[in-house]
């Protein structure tokens, strides 16, 4: 019934060894703009730092798919997947080894003179029992998890997208009332912990242009600590156009002290899906396309960046023939790439 929010990437399947492997792969890389990165996807490069300071993972799922297509001689498919593999995407920190994963990603990014883009998604009672249900067992477990993430980041540059849907689900009736007070406390604590780090920026998730009106969420954002964060994120894992997302974000910004925001443009190239079951239009919709590539050069001074928070090619959930939420789906990735410019 929560058709305006996308299912989120589950990080459980991503082993910590792979994270550390990515860091080791980059150990010999220099930091010049457009530098070639080692890794399984031949020819993966870092984007020019002046426009896109975020780290491209040369050992990411798309890079591995690219390498497999190249090895199989599937040049056309490889060229399409390269559109994804060469862009920085959010690294969703898993529940078991937050310190190790955060350290692996931020060390790898620092060695390439880039900033790690991390997504924290482990709030208790996550996703209201839907496709990405789960999260920390309780408040104390969540606080310990955040502490682990912070130890892993240390003073290395990082941009953090904090808890997709966590505030939105306090507003839309999805999260039961008895969990509200604790969730606000956990989000405030997470913001404060992460902002105590020297080079970490924090953006609280704030929904999307299609779910409701900024009047409904600005006070909950204030309760969640938006005043201490760098800003908020809109359109995470969703499909609303960049233009509509900016309009929504600017309205919301005016209500929370002029805070800046970032927009997830990973899959919004063709806008939202408007056909089929309204309750499922957010889940693996057909005909979608990659959006603007990640950059800090945006169309509005309030927009700090266009980011690929959702990892293009990973499923929203077991709908429309998709695998479990967060699992790589090569045919969907190819469709996103083919439909983009």
Residue 316 catalytic?
Answer: yes
Q: Residues 122, 127, 172, 304: which is the catalytic one?
A: 127
Bridge partner residues of 198 (DSSP): none
The Cα 98–Cα 92 span in angstroms is 10
Residue 165 catalytic?
Answer: yes
Q: What are the DSSP calls for 69-89, one per residue?
A: HHHTT-HHHHHHHHHHHTS--
Q: Residues 52, 59, 77, 165: which is the catalytic one?
A: 165
CB 3 within 8 A of CB 317: no
- Candidates 180, 183, 200, 260; CA nearest to 226 is 260
The Cα 161–Cα 62 span in angstroms is 21
Residue 77 catalytic?
Answer: no
- Candidates 53, 21, 55, 52; CA nearest to 39 is 21
Torsion over CA: 221, 200, 123, 232 (sign): positive
Bridge partner residues of 126 (DSSP): 134
The Cα 115–Cα 103 span in angstroms is 12
The Cα 122–Cα 145 span in angstroms is 8
Q: Residues 52, 122, 230, 316: which is the catalytic one?
A: 316
Active centre residues (catalytic)? 127, 165, 316
């Amino acid at each position: 019934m929560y058709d305006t929010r996308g299912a989120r990437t589950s990080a459980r399947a991503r082993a910590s060894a792979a994270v550390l492997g990515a860091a080791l792969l980059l150990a010999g890389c220099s930091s010049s703009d457009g530098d070639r990165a080692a890794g399984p996807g031949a020819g993966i490069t870092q984007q020019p730092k002046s426009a896109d300071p975020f780290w491209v993972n040369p050992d990411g799922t798309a890079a591995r798919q690219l390498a497999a297509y190249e090895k199989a001689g599937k040049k056309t498919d490889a060229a399409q997947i390269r559109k994804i593999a060469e862009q920085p995407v959010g690294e969703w920190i898993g529940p078991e080894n937050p310190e190790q994963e955060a350290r692996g990603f931020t060390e790898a990014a620092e060695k390439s003179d880039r900033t790690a883009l991390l997504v924290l998604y482990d709030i208790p009672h996550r996703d209201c029992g839907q496709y990405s249900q789960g999260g920390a067992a309780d408040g104390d477990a969540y606080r310990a998890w955040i502490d682990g993430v912070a130890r892993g980041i240390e003073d290395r540059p990082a941009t953090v997208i904090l808890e997709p849907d966590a505030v939105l689900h306090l507003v839309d009736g999805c999260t039961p009332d008895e969990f509200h007070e604790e969730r606000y406390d956990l989000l405030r604590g997470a913001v404060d912990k992460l902002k105590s780090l020297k080079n970490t920026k924090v953006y609280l998730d704030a929904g999307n242009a299609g779910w409701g009106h900024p009047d409904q969420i600005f006070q909950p954002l204030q309760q969640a600590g938006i005043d201490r964060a760098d800003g908020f994120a809109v359109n995470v894992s969703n499909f609303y156009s960049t233009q509509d997302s900016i309009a929504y974000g600017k309205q919301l910004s005016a209500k929370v002290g002029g805070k800046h925001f970032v927009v997830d443009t990973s899959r919004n190239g063709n806008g939202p899906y408007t056909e089929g079951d309204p309750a499922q239009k957010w889940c693996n919709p057909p005909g979608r396309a990659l959006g603007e590539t990640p950059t800090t050069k945006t169309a509005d001074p309030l927009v700090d960046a266009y980011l690929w928070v959702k990892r293009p090619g990973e499923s929203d959930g077991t709908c429309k023939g998709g695998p479990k939420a967060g699992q790589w789906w090569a045919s969907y990735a190819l469709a996103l790439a083919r439909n983009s410019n």
